[in-house]
Amino acid sequence: LKRALFLLELGPVFFDLRMTTFSNLSLPDREAHFRSWSLSGTELRRVVASAFRRFLQLVFYDPPSSWAGIGYDGPLIK
């Protein structure tokens, strides 16, 4: 995860030859940059994007307080 964060942060510099880091992009540019990683022809970038997406979904949807918003009643066995 540490390496993935490093790659994402410096992705605009390394892969797009931009003179700025991910953190310094505007919100729409960050979203477009991350989306481009999901569709990239480079396996490394797709793997990093997938790992972040899965991790963030786990963190966001794990608390029971978020279940009602997605229509999930909770596990069958309580």
* pLDDT tens track, the chain, 78 positions: 899 999 999 999 999 999 999 999 999 999 999 999 999 999 999 999 999 999 988 888 889 999 998 898 888 776
- Amino acid type, 23: S
CA atoms within 13 A on the CB side of 58: 6
* Cα distance between residue 54 and residue 19, in whole Å: 29
Token code pair at residue 72: 């999930």
**Structure tokens that stand for 74 in this block:** 């909770």
Give the predicted TM-score (pTM) of the model: 0.75
